[in-house]
Amino acid sequence: MFIIESYAVAVAMCIITMLCWGSWANTQKLASKEWRFQLFYWDYAIGVFLLALLLAFTLGSTGSGGRGFLADLHQADTKWLGSAFVGGVIFNLSNILLVAAIDIAGMAVAFPVGVGLALCIGVITTYLSTKVGNTPMLGLGVAAIMLAIILDAIAYKRLASGDKKTPVKGIVISIAAGVLMGFFYKYVAQSMGKIEPLTHTLEPGKLSPYTAVVLFSAGLLLSNFLWNSIMMVKPFTGSAVPFGDYFTKGNVRLHLVGILGGMIWNTGMAFSIIASTKAGAALSYGLGQGATMIGAFWGVFIWKEFKGAPKGTNSLLAAMFLLYILGLAILIASKS
CB 94 within 8 A of CB 180: yes
Q: Is residue 312 part of a domain?
A: yes
Give the pLDDT of residue 162. Answer: 44
Query: What is the rounded CA–CA span in Å between residue 336 and residue 333?
Result: 8
Query: What is the rounded CA–CA span in Å between residue 288 and residue 48?
Result: 17
- Where would I find the H helices in 65-164? 69-75, 78-105, 107-130, 135-157
Q: Is residue 240 part of a domain?
A: yes
Give the pLDDT of residue 163. Answer: 43
Total structural domains in the chain? 1
Please list, in sequence order, all residues whose beta carbon lies within 8 angstroms of the beta carbon of residue 23, skipping any fewer than 6 positions away. 264, 291, 294, 295, 298
Q: Is residue 1 part of a domain?
A: no
Q: Is residue 260 part of a domain?
A: yes
Grouping H, G, I as helix, E, B as strand and the rest as coil, residue 99 is helix
CB 204 within 8 A of CB 75: yes
CA distances to 107, 172, 279 from 153, in Å = 8, 16, 30
Positions in the chain short of pLDDT 50: 161-163
CB 323 within 8 A of CB 151: yes
The helix (run of H) or strand (run of E) holding residue 245 is: helix 245-248
Query: What is the rounded CA–CA span in Å between residue 193 and residue 209?
Result: 8
Q: Is residue 180 part of a domain?
A: yes
Q: Which of 84, 61, 63 is nearest to 206 (CA)?
A: 84
Query: What is the rounded CA–CA span in Å between residue 231 and residue 237?
Result: 10
Q: Is residue 2 part of a domain?
A: no
Domain with 226 in it = 7-333
Q: Is residue 216 part of a domain?
A: yes
pTM for the predicted model, two decimal places: 0.88
Q: Is residue 220 part of a domain?
A: yes
